[in-house]
Structures are given as structure tokens and as C-alpha cells.
């Protein structure tokens, strides 16, 4: 689940909690979840928490970077005087840490911990040494706010034979869009997900970019998928999607624009939610 807004939520939350903290221990529970040498990060202090697309970039005081990619089911949980959790929403947001899904644990000098949990083991923490590049980061397209409508249209056209949904999921076309914001952006632009890129107009591409930005801005504003949305004041489980989603996971519900029924189908090999009446 973690897409750009969720990673941005993590970036903001962690910035307040781990800046200036020194890592004194790293425990690796699953070898494939930690790429690099533990000795490269022990003793180092966190100087900045950044983000590029869906990648979180934890910068260390010697110039190295801890790159975290949550993929499908990753989550980061900080436990100290305060607790912060964001990423793939599960009971681990509120449960005992570490859990059976904990793959990498970082202990700080003040006794607090940061846990990287990931039930499907697709995600990872990777040490980038000074000057070391990463293939994913190198290929990454522009952030949705750093690209003009015209540039976005040009980037899309590099994938003109495929569906518009597959094109915006391509991280080299635009950074940070995943299945949720692809469906939401296409709904906002009233463009059908299975349309071929070659048949999408310059104007529609502009609306699509605005739709993606709008959905992401709303999600960031409400705190993405995080502890604050997971448990409501009355103790029941909340759903952050309710706070901004118009089509995602709304199968069978009424389209807010035309009143027709939201359907679920398959596009680009992914579950796709859309309104067949007003998305053309």
C-alpha cells in the first residue's frame, strides 16, 4: 500500500522523532531485508529524513544513506516515549514490538527503537555508501509537483502503446503513484483506466496530473495510512481511505460525480476501480 503520501507521512513523522539520534545497534531478522553492512550504520547519527517517490532516504552524518522501500506490506514503527507507526496498516501498528513481521530493528542511544516490519518480505532497507547509486532511484521520474502538464504529457507519450493506468504506475514516468492514486487520479480526470496512452489528449493528461496531485495532497493532509487513522477515538478501527478515496475500494458504491455504480476490473494486471459511466 505505501505510495508517495504514506511515505511522506512517514518522513514527516520520523523527522520529528529520530533527527539527531545515534544508532547503537542493528538487528537483522531476515537477511534479505537488509542490504549492506550493519557496521556501516552503527555509531552513525541521523541528520535528515528525505524521500524520493516511494523511497524513504534516511541520511547519516558521514554521508551514507539508509534507503527504505516498503513495497507492498512494509511499515515503520518507532517506539520510544512516543509511538509512531505508518505504512501498510495492520495490527502491528498497535501491537507488541518486535513482532513476527519485524525484519530489521534499530536501537538508538536513548533506548528508543525503530522497527522495519514487512510481512511479505518484498521491501528492504539498503545502505547507500557515499557516491553509491541505486538503480531504482536513478530511473525515477519527477515528483508530481515538480513536473508541468506539458512535461507530464511528454513523459506519458514514451509509453503510448500501453494503457494509461500502466503508464502512470511506471515510476520512470512519474514518481510515487501506486494502485490507489492511479485509480483516484483517473477518476478525478474522468479518464477510463484501460484507454491507450496514444488516445489520451494533452488536456486530459493535464487533468490527470492535477487529479493525482489533488488525491495525494488530501491523503498527506489526513496523515496517509498511519497510527492516527488506524485507531479511532472510540477504539474502533478507522480507514484512512474513507477520508479521500472516491473510487478505490468503493466497488458497488455510487459514483460521487454521476451516481452510477463503481466497478472493479483488471487493468495492467492490477485490481482497478472506476466508474464506467463518467470515465471515458
Partner DNA sequence: CTAGGATCCTGTCAGC
Partner DNA sequence: TGCTGACAGGATCCTA
Which is catalytic among the residues 11, 54, 103, 250? Answer: 54
CA atoms of 246 and 262, how far apart (whole Å)? 9
Shortest Å, Cβ 43 to DNA = 30
Q: Which of 44-52, 59-67, 78-86, 120-128 is the region at the interface with DNA (rule: CB under 7 A)?
A: 120-128
The site for DNA, by CB under 7 A, has a size of: 39
Q: Does 122 bind DNA (CB under 7 A)?
A: yes
CA atoms of 109 and 122, how far apart (whole Å)? 29
Q: Which of 10-18, 185-193, 208-216, 265-273 is the region at the interface with DNA (rule: CB under 7 A)?
A: 265-273
User: What is the contact mask toward DNA in residues 142 to 181, using x (rule: CB under 7 A)?
Assistant: ----------------xxxxxx--x--x-x------xxx-
Shortest Å, Cβ 71 to DNA = 4
Whole-number Cα distances in Å, 271 to 109, 166, 178, 179, 188: 44, 12, 12, 8, 18
Residue indicated by cell numbers 460521487: 256
Q: Does 205 bind DNA (CB under 7 A)?
A: no
Shortest Å, Cβ 17 to DNA = 22
Q: Does 252 bind DNA (CB under 7 A)?
A: no
Q: Does 105 bind DNA (CB under 7 A)?
A: no
270 is catalytic: yes
68-92 in b/e form (b: 16+ CB < 10 A) is bbbbebbbbbbbeeeebbbbbbbeb
Whole-number Cα distances in Å, 225 to 4, 123, 172, 243: 11, 17, 24, 11
Nearest CB to DNA, comparing residues 239 and 260 = 239
Nearest CB to DNA, comparing residues 235 and 269 = 269
- Residue 78 DSSP class: E
Q: Residue 48 forms beta bridges with which residues?
A: 59
Cis peptide before 98 (omega within 30 of 0): yes
Q: Are 225 and 240 in contact (CB under 8 A)?
A: yes
243 is catalytic: no
Could you say which of 64, 71, 83, 277 contacts DNA (CB under 7 A)? 71
Q: Does 228 bind DNA (CB under 7 A)?
A: no
Could you say which of 15, 112, 119, 142 contacts DNA (CB under 7 A)? 119
Tell me how long the chain is.
280
Give Dmax (Cα) for the chain.
58
Q: Are 44 and 60 in contact (CB under 8 A)?
A: yes
Q: Are 116 and 33 in contact (CB under 8 A)?
A: yes
Shortest Å, Cβ 39 to DNA = 26
Shortest Å, Cβ 131 to DNA = 20
Shortest Å, Cβ 197 to DNA = 7
Q: Which residues are designated catalytic?
A: 2-3, 54, 270
Residues binding DNA (CB under 7 A): 1-3, 53-54, 69, 71-72, 89-90, 100-101, 119-122, 135-136, 139, 158-163, 166, 169, 171, 178-180, 197, 225, 240-241, 268-271
Amino acid at each position: 500500500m505505501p505510495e508517495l503520501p504514506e511515505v511522506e507521512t512517514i518522513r514527516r513523522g520520523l523527522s520529528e522523532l529520530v533527527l539527531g539520534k545515534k544508532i547503537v545497534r542493528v538487528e537483522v531478522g531476515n537477511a534479505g531485508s537488509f542490504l549492506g553492512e550493519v557496521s556501516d550504520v552503527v555509531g552513525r547519527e541521523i541528520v535528515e529524513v528525505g524521500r524520493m517517490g516511494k523511497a524513504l532516504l534516511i541520511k547519516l552524518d558521514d554521508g551514507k544513506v539508509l534507503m527504505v522501500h516498503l513495497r507492498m506490506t512494509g511499515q515503520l514503527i518507532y517506539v520510544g516515549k512516543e509511538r509512531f507507526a505508518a505504512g501498510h496498516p495492520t495490527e502491528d501498528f498497535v501491537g507488541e514490538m518486535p513482532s513476527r513481521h519485524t525484519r530489521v530493528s534499530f536501537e538508538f542511544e536513548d533506548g528508543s527503537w525503530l522497527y522495519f516490519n514487512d510481512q511479505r518480505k518484498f521491501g528492504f532497507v539498503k545502505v547507500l555508501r557515499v557516491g553509491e547509486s541505486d538503480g531504482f532511484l536513478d530511473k525515477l521520474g519527477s515528483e508530481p509537483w515538480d513536473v508541468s502538464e506539458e512535461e507530464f504529457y511528454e513523459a506519458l507519450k514514451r509509453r503510448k502503446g500501453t494503457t494509461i493506468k500502466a503508464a502512470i504506475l511506471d515510476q520512470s514516468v512519474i514518481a510515487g503513484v501506486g494502485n490507489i492514486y492511479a485509480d483516484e487520479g483517473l477518476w478525478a480526470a474522468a479518464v477510463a483506466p484501460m484507454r491507450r496512452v496514444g488516445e489520451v489528449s494533452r488536456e486530459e493528461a493535464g487533468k490527470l496530473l492535477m487529479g493525482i496531485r489533488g488525491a495525494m495532497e488530501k491523503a498527506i493532509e489526513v496523515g496517509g495510512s498511519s497510527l492516527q487513522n488506524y485507531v479511532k477515538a472510540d477504539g474502533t478501527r478507522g480507514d484512512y481511505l474513507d477520508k479521500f478515496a472516491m473510487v478505490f475500494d468503493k466497488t458497488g458504491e455510487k459514483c460521487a460525480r454521476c451516481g452510477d455504480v463503481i466497478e472493479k476490473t483488471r487493468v495492467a494486471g492490477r485490481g482497478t476501480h472506476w466508474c464506467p459511466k463518467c470515465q471515458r
